[in-house]
Chain A
Amino acid sequence: ETGVTQTPRHLVMGMTNKKSLKCEQHLGHNAMYWYKQSAKKPLELMFVYNFKEQTENNSVPSRFSPECPNSSHLFLHLHTLQPEDSALYLCASSPTLGRAYNEQFFGPGTRLTVL
């Protein structure tokens, strides 16, 4: 596998379910990101991690819980979601936040539907 991969690609869950999204990057990067993409807000930054440390939480509800065990893996744990949380969830990685020109590379996304 190369680049940024995300699993699953599609997920349907009920409001009482608990599920997790997984992201893995094979680029040797140290920064990873979660974005939410919907018709209302095309690219909404959720969380940023740099060298496994969370550097930004963009006022995301606690029903979304990120985890970054190492620089290559990023998870988004989901519980008691609402139908309005249905969206495309994109993971991205970049060399590091401190770099002047910080090219970000995106995964294909997980299409989440909350019933």
Chain B
Amino acid sequence: GENVEQHPSTLSVQEGDSAVIKCTYSDSASNYFPWYKQELGKGPQLIIDIRSNVGEKKDQRIAVTLNKTAKHFSLHITETQPEDSAVYFCAAKAPGTGRRALTFGSGTRLQVQP
């Protein structure tokens, strides 16, 4: 089955700096890669996703890149703000009903220091 590894487990940056979280996946058939943000006391919230037919996607201060050959994808947050502090999860999914819906990484706790 799919295996997703996520690094780093914790990340501390100064406000205004950039943050990068990296994930690798094992199933070459995976074609959907969402990122979730989980704030304290809340469920994970989908913030951006990328599909295997594109290499990069941006939404304001966040961007995701995908390297299918190397089987890794990354989340980039620019001009970080204190409200970006949260736990971020990457995930991957291969097509087909028989496959597990989403396989999640172990999470990255991002702390933005004001």
Contacts and interface: CB of A to CB of B under 8 A. Distances in A.
Contacts of A75: none
Nearest to A106: B43
B101 A43 contact: no
Contacts, number: 59
Contact of B102 (A6, A90, A104, A107): A104
B95 interface: yes
Contacts of A6: 43
Given A31-B101, A43-B89, A43-B107, A100 B95 contact: yes
Interface string A83-108: 00000001010100110111111111
Is the interface on chain B under 10, 10 to 19, 20 to 34, or 35 or more residues?
20 to 34
B41 to A, nearest CB: 8
A102 B98 CA distance: 13
A90 B87 CA distance: 15
B101 A94 contact: yes
B102 A102 contact: yes
A78 interface: no
Interface string B54-93: 0000000000000000000000000000000001010001
Contacts of A33: 101
A66 interface: no
Contacts of B102: 102, 104
Interface in B41-58: 41-46, 49, 51
A102 B43 contact: no
Contact of B104 (A43, A56, A94, A109): A43
Contacts of A101: 31-32, 49, 51, 93
A103 B31 contact: no
Contacts of A48: 100-101
10 contacts: A4-B43, A43-B44, A45-B100, A56-B100, A56-B101, A98-B96, A98-B97, A100-B32, A102-B102, A108-B43
10 closest Cβ contacts across the A-B interface? A106-B43, A43-B104, A42-B107, A98-B97, A97-B97, A101-B32, A106-B44, A108-B43, A100-B95, A109-B43
